[in-house]
Every structure is written in structure tokens, then in C-alpha cells.
A and B are shown apart, each in its own frame.
Chain A
Amino acid sequence: MAEPVQASPAHEEHHHEQSFWRKFIFSTDHKVIGVQYSVTGLAFLFFGFCLMMIMRWQLAYPGEPIPLIGSLLGENRAPGGIMLPDFYNELGAMHGTIMVFLGVVPLAVGGFGNFVMPLQLGAPDMAFPRINMISYWCLFLGGVTMFASFFLPNGAAGNGWTSYSPLADIALNGQTAWLIGMIFLITSSLLGAVNFITTAVQLRAPGLTWMRLPFFCWAQIVTAFLLLLAFPPLEAAGVLQLMDRVAATSFFLPDGLVVGGEVLEVSGGGSPLLWQHLFWFLAHPEVYVLILPAMGIVAEVIANNSRKPLWGYRSMVYSLIFLGFMSFIVWAHHMFITGMGSVMSTFFQTTTMIISIPSVIILSALFISLWGGSIRYNTPMLFALGFLPMFGIGGLTGLPLGLSAADIPLHDTYYVIGHFHYVVAPGTLFALFAGVYYWFPKVTGRKMNEFLGKLHFWPSLVFMNGVFFPMMIQGLNGVSRRLADGGITYDFAGEVAGLNRMMSVSAWCLAVAQIPFIINFFMSIRNGEKAGRNPWNSTTLEWLAPSPAPHGNFDQAIEVTRGPYEYSVPGSDKDYAPQAEPAST
């Protein structure tokens, strides 16, 4: 991005030279902000993964001193290098929080959404560039708060990423910092969502009708609505829980609590279940916030590398919108065993089965899109193809959990962990890697290395399954999640505790498999193969802009004349027809 700012016909005011701070730190350019989000997201994904790798030692070798770093963790976390259960709970809660709110969302929405969507819309920037900047810095503050909470005297929050009350109300750990951090993160997402929706409505290039919009943009729009409508209840709930902790209110505390033999001196009268409803009212749509942008990326990469239009584009878009809507009325399937009656459970399991249908339609359409293609197996495509069966496993394993009777033995077991990690790790993360490899040339002007890319993909695929598939087996055996000793206290769980070693070794190998990516990422910024405007021979508008694109994005007027995926049009000698014709050079 170190190129001088170029003239842009749309944005005359950007002619003047900007200071380093305005250009790279407090930038209002959606591309710089997108890169800031992406780098922050990738860094937190790495950090969250590190937390998990420490946990996986404790699961595989409970009670044994952690090698190498054990002595660095401090006496209040791991005396003699042996992890305390409290520290295990901190790591667990923060792993979830960081991966979801500081890893995947910033990368998938803040990063790709910010960088790619305005380019795909043919827009010079987001509708509200300053709000965009504020959104990033709210995320940054939230991230700093979460990170710093590890250094509080009582450690970080350790009540699960779900932070159920009353435990989270009365916990002595860093739950207050968690809530403050969450309020920053939620504010960030809300500001971003308003911006995304406005941009998509207002700033589409001439001729870019809704049904000519790339699927990725549709995914970002639906995601933005989910964030906009689902996050405010959690923000409110977060403030209420904060008040319970610091102002002695009892929103989530009932009467007559006895903690450690003492009656808790609070006014009481609150409801612990209220927190769960407010939390899951966000957190279920949040699942789709994690998955829809991933589907969007996969759709782009598959269309491009199968060299043919997406099959069933319209039904995919309608399914996406329906999915977004339905995601607001399935939340209580996370709460089947809170004492739910027949009426409620019937409603929520029925909506849960219904929501699986649009997911099946989208996934089927992506599979079918490959048929008749001329498939190029480059790194972005490998990751996009890897997404399909992995997300398939994640979706399928949701079935027994979504049916309340089958959920009884499986609820809160490792089956659940395996299920949603298949969705989010080899699912969403693979899609995000596909996106990194795919749009890297647009960001830097250079392609990433193919050999290192493949060296990243294949071991990642193997070890992801090595980590997550055994979780299904443990779950079917009934092993509860969030056990600081991996389940060895229980006879029934002890039978499959041995799988923990295989999973932990897989997790550490998975970390090694990321080294080629890290090398590739930094090496390619300077030394990658130079990419022109359109290295993948793609059709969508972002590839009309120079690589890297200047402030203001396009150096030509854009008139969209086609749908987004006009590949291999019969009668044309070129196998792609861009949405807008490039200016003749």
C-alpha cells in the first residue's frame, strides 16, 4: 500500500498528500481499515490458538507441568508449571471470546467486508469513512481490554464465552473487564453494520442491480443486518450484568443464593435464564455472522476457479436472506435442557430443522456449481473446496443437537464442541484462508506462493480433522465440555480420555502447518510474483481497479453490464466476461 495516492475522478478531495498517521493509522480509506481489521483478526486468531494449545497440554497430560512455557505463566496460574483449574477456565473462556469476536468476525466482516465489498460494488469508499475508522478503533480498544485482562490480579474472565449468570455475576475473575471489552466490540460491530448496509444500498456502481451483486456482497449485507439487529440485546445484557457486578443490582440473580455457605447479600428477584435468552438471541445469529461471509468467499473462489457461473445464484441469494431471517428465531435450541416445556421446544426445534434447508440449498448449489467446470486447483480453490465437506460435517452434526430428544445425552458434551468447530475452524477458517490467498494480490499487488500455499492446505486439512473428529467420539461417550482435567475424574469419560493426546498432538501439528502460511504471507508482500489488475481472470469489479488499488479505488468510470459470474460464455473466445469492460489501454 506504499504507493503514492493517485488521482481519482470520484474523490477530488483526496489529491493532497496525507501524513503517515492519517494514511496508515487513523485512515478513513476502507482498504487500509480492511487491512487493519484483517491483521488484527489474524493476530488474535493466532493468539486464541495459542491459548488453546496450552489448554490442550492440560487435556492430554492433566496435572503434569507444562513444558517450555510452564514456568513463565506465574504462580497464580500454573504453580510449578502445573495448570490450575481456574486458569484452565480462563483460557477456555478467552479462547472462545477471542476466536469469535476478535478473530473470525474482524477478519471475515471487518477485514474482507471492508476491503472487498466497496471494490465489488464499484464504490470509491464506504458510505461513512470516519465511522468506519471509529469502528476499527472500538474493536482495537476491545481487543486491548480483553488482552490486558489476563494481567489482572484475579486473571481474565473464566466463565465460558457464554458467561452464564449467576456464575459470571459472582465470579472474582476478570469478568468485569470482559464485559467492558465486549461493549467496545459490540459497538464496533454496530457501527460497521450501519456502514455496510448504507454502502450497499447507496454506493453501487451504475448498472449494478441487486441480482448482479456478487454473492459475497449479499453475504456481507445479510451479515450486517444480523449484527445490527442481534447485537443490541447482548449490549443491553452486558450492561445489566456489569451493573450486577459493580452496582449491586440483581438482574440475573434470584432470591436466596447461598455461595460458599453464606447467603449472598443481594436484593434478588432476577432471572438467570434471562441472561441466556439475551445472550443466545445474539449468539445464534452470530453463528451465521461467522459462516455467511465464509460462504460468500467460497462462492467467489469457486465461480472463479471452476470458470463457470454459480449454479442457482438466485436461489442462493434467497436462501441467504431466508437464513438470515430464520437465524433470529432458533436461539433457544441452545437451551433445551434449561427446563423447557413441549411448546417451546417444539417451536425451536422446528425452526432449527427449517433453517437447515436453506443451508442445504446453498451448500448443494456450491457443489453443483463445480459440475461442468474447468477446475483450477490453486491454493484459494483448495481452501474453498476444503470448506465444503468440512462445513458439511459441521452442518450434519448439528442435526442431532437440534432435535431436543437427541440433544439430551449430547448437550454440553464434546459433540457440541466438535460440531461447531467443524463449522468454524475447517469451515469458516478455511474459507478465510481462501480469501486471504485470493485477494492478497489486490491488497499488495503480488500473489502468494503456490507451493507454500499447498504446504499450508494439506497438513491443515489432515490435522484439523485430527483435532475435531475425535471430539465427536468423546461426545457420544458423554464427556462434558469445560472439564479442566479432560474428563479423567469420571469413569465413563476416562474410557475415551486417551483420544485427548491424539487431538492435542494434532493441534500442535496444526500449529506447525501454519508456519508456511506465515512465511508465505510476509515473504510475498515484497517478493511475491507480481500480479496485474486481474491475476485470476475474474469477472467482478474489484479486479478492474489497479493492484494495489489507490485511495478512491478506480481510475476509470464503471458501467456494469452483466451479472457477477459470466464465465465461459458460449460464443466468446475469452473464458470470462467482466461485469464492466476495462478501459482500453
Chain B
Amino acid sequence: MMDAMFPAAASEHAGEIDNMIDAVHYLMLVLFIVWGAFFLYTLMRFRAARNPKADYVGVKSKASTVGEVLVAIAEGVLLLGFSIPMWAERVDEIPSEADSTVVRVVAQQFAWNVWYPGADGVFGEADPYLTDEATNPIGLDRDGAGADDIWTVNQLHLPVDKAAIIHLTSKDVIHSFNLPNMRIKQDAIPGLSIPVWFVPTKTTVQIREETGNPDYVYEIACAQLCGNSHYSMRGFLTVHTEEEFQAWLDEEASYLGDSGTDDFFN
């Protein structure tokens, strides 16, 4: 019913969330129409001009109790049948990192720093005192495992049909990592690293074909007020085929100089 309004869905679990929102809205619509019809009929039928003497007792039937029980049952079904299991899938059934693309996203006023572990598959250390807004916004220590790490600003790249695990944190204030097409939203909270995962199912090329819009982009939006430029904290997700993704990673890695700094992006 409401699909026309949602941003185009492009992740494995998007369909079930959309269906659930649909189902809840059907329930709401039924309740509103039943209540509304009763209400309007009552207002006309029992206006003073038509019914000059009120009935002290009013409704004797227990129909409303039945209605309330039905509402409670419907809510129970939504809760136990849909919401709780779906939530458990999101937060308890995180796939193994070996089978996933693992990325860190470090939010800041007002950008998304995206951090890949590089060829060794191990993230380096970060130290706030190494932070330099121009050359090292995540405070990455290039000694050790961090030597081959890759970071970008506002550009998240992922392969299609493979679970992506994103460890979210923030440098300064609370942001919220919102991928409308993926039905993903998760606060990025300083001091905490919070994993969020999804499986993108359509490459950027595919979604452009599907929507008929050659300029369509998956956007990353900030959903939590984070300061004066909150409204413009826009990032981009590009979903590739596996081969394209590897090619992109290789290209990024090639920009890493021997000195271990990658000021290319700035």
C-alpha cells in the first residue's frame, strides 16, 4: 500500500520491514474507519434535534470489549510475529566477519569517515591525538596494522549480495547513520562502537536502471541533530559487483604512499 512512498528498497531485509509497516498501516486504517464510521453515525443519529431526550444507560453491548481484545491480539501478533524476531535478526544474528565486508564509519561534524582495514583485513589503531582534520580525520596510526588501511570521506563502497558489517562510532557528538534505501538507521555515539549490518541486493547500476534515473544515488543521511550543518551531512553509498569492489579497493590502496599518509583525498 505504502510502497510508492518509501525510498527504493535495496537490501535483503528491506522487504520485510516494508511489509510490516504496510501491515501496521492496514490495521490503523481499519481501526480509524471503524471508529470514524461509528463516530459520524453517532453524531448525526444522536444530535439534540433528532434525539431530544438522552438515554441514561447508553450502550449495553460488550462489543467494545471485543474490539479492545482484537486490538490487543493484533498488537501481539505484530510484536511476537514480526517486530521482535526482525529486531533479533538485526542485532543478534550478525554474520561472521569472515564472510562479510567489514567497515568502520566514524562520524563527525559534518561528515562520514569511512575506514577499511586494507589488504591485511585488520584495522589499525586510532589515537585522538593523531587527528588532523585535513590529513588524518580518524586519527589513524600508520604504524602496525594501520599501514594499509584505507579511509574516505562521505564515500562508502560495498559489494552487492554480501553482508556488510559497519562498526559505527563518532568523534564528537551523536549522529545517526541513515541509509534510507537499505532500511538502516543507527545512531553513531561517541565512546561506543555499534555494529550494524545489512546485505545490499542491488548495485548502483541496477538501481539506476530500475528507477530509470541515471543519476540515482544511494544517500547516507544524518538523522540526529548534530549541529548547524546537520542538514547537509550527506554521504554516498556505491554498491558494486564483487569484481568492481575489489578493483576499487585496489585502486584506493595504490594511492597509499610509502610514508603511509594518503593525502590524496584532500
Contact = CB atoms under 8 A, between A and B. Distances in A.
Interface in B28-54: 28, 31-32, 35-36, 38-39, 42-43, 46-48, 51-54
B234 A489 contact: yes
Interface of A: 84-86, 89, 158-160, 164, 166-167, 170-171, 254-261, 263-264, 271-273, 306-309, 311, 337-342, 345-346, 349-350, 353, 356-357, 360-361, 363-365, 367-377, 385, 388-389, 392-393, 396-397, 399-400, 403-406, 408-413, 473, 476-478, 480-485, 487, 489-493, 567-570, 575
B39 A367 contact: yes
Contact of B24 (A365, A403, A478, A567): A403
Contacts of A396: 28, 31-32
Interface in B64-79: 64, 67-68, 71-72, 75-76, 78-79
Contacts of B24: 399-400, 403, 406
27 contacts: A254-B192, A256-B128, A257-B172, A258-B108, A258-B128, A261-B131, A261-B133, A263-B131, A308-B54, A349-B79, A367-B35, A371-B59, A375-B43, A375-B47, A375-B48, A377-B48, A400-B24, A403-B20, A409-B185, A476-B6, A476-B21, A477-B7, A478-B180, A482-B231, A483-B230, A485-B231, A575-B53
A295 B20 CA distance: 31
Contacts of A257: 128, 171-172, 190
Interface stretch (B157-165, B221-229, B256-264): B221-229
A367 B36 CA distance: 10
Contacts of B153: none
Contacts of A159: 225
A570 B58 CA distance: 12
Given A360-B71, A478-B7, A403 B82 contact: yes
Nearest to B137: A261
Contact of B21 (A273, A361, A400, A477): A400
Interface string B175-190: 0101011011111011
Contacts of A86: 228
Contact of A255 (B191, B227, B232): B191
A337 B17 CA distance: 15
B39 A405 contact: no
Nearest to B38: A367
Interface stretch (B83-91, B97-105, B117-125, B242-250): B83-91
Given A272-B190, A353-B79, A396-B31, A482 B59 contact: no
Contact of B83 (A158, A373, A403, A484): A403
CB-based closest 3 A-B pairs: A254-B191, A372-B55, A261-B133
B237 interface: no
A376 B48 contact: yes
Contact of B87 (A171, A261, A404, A569): A404
B266 to A, nearest CB: 13
A468 B83 CA distance: 27
B145 interface: no
B147 interface: no
B225 A482 contact: yes
Interface in B101-142: 108-109, 128-129, 131-133, 139
A484 B231 CA distance: 6
Interface residues on B, range: 35 or more
A338 B189 contact: yes
A84 B228 contact: yes
B173 A170 contact: yes
A253 B209 CA distance: 46
A65 B76 CA distance: 51
A338 B54 contact: no
A346 B84 contact: yes
Question: Most chain-B CB neighbours within 10 Å: which of A160, A263, A392, A405?
Answer: A405
Contacts of B226: 167
Contact of B176 (A254, A337, A485): A337
A477 B219 contact: no
Nearest to A385: B43
B190 A342 contact: no
Nearest to B128: A256
Contacts of A363: 35
B75 to A, nearest CB: 4
A159 B68 CA distance: 40
Contacts of B187: 337-339
A349 B54 contact: no
A520 B229 CA distance: 43
Contacts of B16: 405
Contacts of B92: 341-342
Contacts of B2: 476
A222 B31 CA distance: 27
A373 B35 contact: no
Residue among B38, B83, B231 having the largest count of chain A Cβ atoms under 10 Å: B231
B173 A490 contact: no
B217 interface: yes
A254 B188 CA distance: 13
Given A396-B28, A403-B82, A473-B5, A342 B91 contact: yes
Given A167-B225, A308-B56, A489-B231, 14 more contacts: A167-B173, A254-B191, A256-B128, A272-B189, A273-B192, A389-B32, A392-B31, A397-B28, A400-B24, A406-B82, A409-B6, A482-B230, A491-B217, A492-B7
